[in-house]
Chains A and B, each alone.
Chain A
Amino acid sequence: MEDWQSVAAIATVALTVIIIIFRAKNGKGGGGCGTCGDGGC
């Protein structure tokens, strides 16, 4: 049953990449300092 795990892991990674690209396209990418709640962060 190791196969489904490999598939699931690769699928997760692929999904992450897609989400990152999608968000970057919408101008939401670029990371964040994470701690600043206001000020146009």
Chain B
Amino acid sequence: MPSTTVQDLKIDSLQSLSQAQVGCDFQIKVIEGPGCDQLRKLGFCETLQVRKLADGRNLICNVCGTRMAVSKELAEQVKVTPLEA
């Protein structure tokens, strides 16, 4: 299936929220994984802006003005790109 490989490539070039740098703003590009429904309900949606506030076992981020604490495993499923300054 060639289409999936193209998408995979695109995802590979993104970083996950758990690897992202603290204190920076990002845009959410892709959410996928077993926890994606849970994430979407809490406001993690594609195209939205997110700021990572703290790292750790659970990381803290700000999505559209709401502070959320999410576990590392969940943050792994959120792929982001840095927002241009």
A and B, direct touch (CB closer than 8 Å): no
